[in-house]
């Protein structure tokens, strides 16, 4: 079963309430969105499945490092691994640099270095490394129910006012949802004597990674797409 299908039963809209109590005569206030329901608990089988997916994705990169090492005819194949470092100096000091990267052809060495998450580039590989390290230490990748406020235009439709306008978000939680806890705050501009904020519909939710502020399915899809793109970029370098 696809991961998106596995988490779908947990991604249901949940009711919330709005707390909005502007000062008399104020021209601006804050609307606090408070969850009014207990979020469902994600079945423990989901993190187990995610752990398998993370392992497979990390192995795919390591297999590519193995094949690039074999192509160079240098280095030890049994210790080759795709390095992932946050800075160039960290990469140079890493064991994986000495065991893999410095044995590659100049072209492939530059290729691997260009895909490192330096200066915020290629966040997919940095996320994969972090998730893989957690999984290798037998710590399940936590999946939690979060609000899905990715569509801000849709969020504005959650609120309405007779004498008020909704401004931008002042706070949006990226963490797990809890009953009676604030998950977002929006600026409200008051245009008249009768401001009102009311509910339009329940807030959408998603199953997210506790380690990263994005939907777990999106994170793993992005990592997979990046790996496919990486393999395609050097596919023609291998003999058929």
**Each residue's pLDDT tens digit, 1-53:** 577 888 888 888 999 888 888 888 888 888 898 999 999 988 888 888 888 88
Q: Are 61 and 82 in contact (CB under 8 A)?
A: yes
Long-range contacts of 118-121 (CB under 8 A, 24+ apart): 118/85, 118/86, 118/87, 118/88
pLDDT band, residue 181 (cuts 50/70/90): very high
Both 100 and 170 in a single domain? no
Both 14 and 72 in a single domain? no
Helix (H) / strand (E) element for 136: namely helix 123-136
Q: How many folded domains does the chain comprise?
A: 2
Domain hosting 160: range is 3-43+142-209
- The 8-class DSSP code of residue 158 comes to T
Both 165 and 204 in a single domain? yes
Q: What is the pLDDT of residues 66-116, one digit of tens each?
A: 899 888 877 677 778 899 988 888 888 887 777 777 888 999 999 998 999
Q: Are 31 and 188 in contact (CB under 8 A)?
A: yes
Both 61 and 105 in a single domain? yes
Detail the DSSP E strand segments found in 85-163: 143-147
pLDDT band, residue 211 (cuts 50/70/90): low
Q: Looking at residue 139, what is its pLDDT?
A: 66
Both 117 and 227 in a single domain? yes
Both 132 and 19 in a single domain? no
Both 164 and 185 in a single domain? yes
Provide the mean pLDDT of the chain: 84
Both 162 and 221 in a single domain? no
Q: Give which of 152, 151, 126 is closest to 57, Cα–Cα.
A: 126
Indicate whether 132 pLDDT > 80: yes
Mean pLDDT of 128-149: 80
- The 8-class DSSP code of residue 178 comes to -
Cβ atoms within 10 Å of 21's Cβ, excluding its own: 11
Q: How does DSSP assign 195-233, residue by residue?
A: ------SPBPEEEEETTSSSBHHHHHHHHHHHHHHHHHH
Both 153 and 195 in a single domain? yes
Q: Are 54 and 140 in contact (CB under 8 A)?
A: no
Both 87 and 192 in a single domain? no
Both 60 and 134 in a single domain? yes
Both 50 and 131 in a single domain? yes
């Amino acid at each position: 079963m696809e991961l998106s299908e596995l988490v779908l039963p947990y991604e249901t809209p949940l009711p919330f309430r709005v707390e909005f109590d502007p000062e008399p005569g104020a021209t601006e206030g804050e609307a606090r969105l408070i969850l009014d329901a207990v979020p469902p608990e994600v079945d423990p089988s989901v993190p187990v499945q995610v752990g398998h997916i993370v392992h497979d994705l990390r192995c795919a990169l390591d297999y590519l490092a193995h094949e690039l090492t074999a192509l160079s005819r240098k280095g030890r194949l049994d210790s080759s691994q795709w390095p992932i470092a946050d800075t160039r100096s960290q990469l140079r000091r890493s064991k994986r640099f000495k065991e893999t990267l410095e044995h590659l052809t100049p072209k492939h060495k530059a290729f691997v270095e260009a895909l490192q998450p330096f200066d915020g580039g290629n966040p997919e590989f940095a996320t994969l490394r972090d998730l893989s390290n957690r999984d290798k230490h037998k710590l399940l990748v936590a999946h939690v129910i979060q609000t899905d406020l990715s569509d801000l235009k849709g969020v504005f439709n959650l609120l309405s006012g007779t004498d008020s306008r909704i401004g931008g978000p002042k706070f949006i939680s990226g963490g797990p949802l809890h009953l009676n806890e604030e998950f977002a705050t929006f600026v409200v501009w008051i245009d008249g004597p009768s401001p009102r904020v009311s509910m339009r519909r329940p807030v959408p939710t998603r199953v997210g990674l506790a380690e990263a502020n994005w939907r777990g399915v999106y994170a793993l899809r992005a990592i997979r797409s990046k790996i496919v793109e990486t393999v395609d970029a050097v596919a023609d370098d291998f003999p058929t």
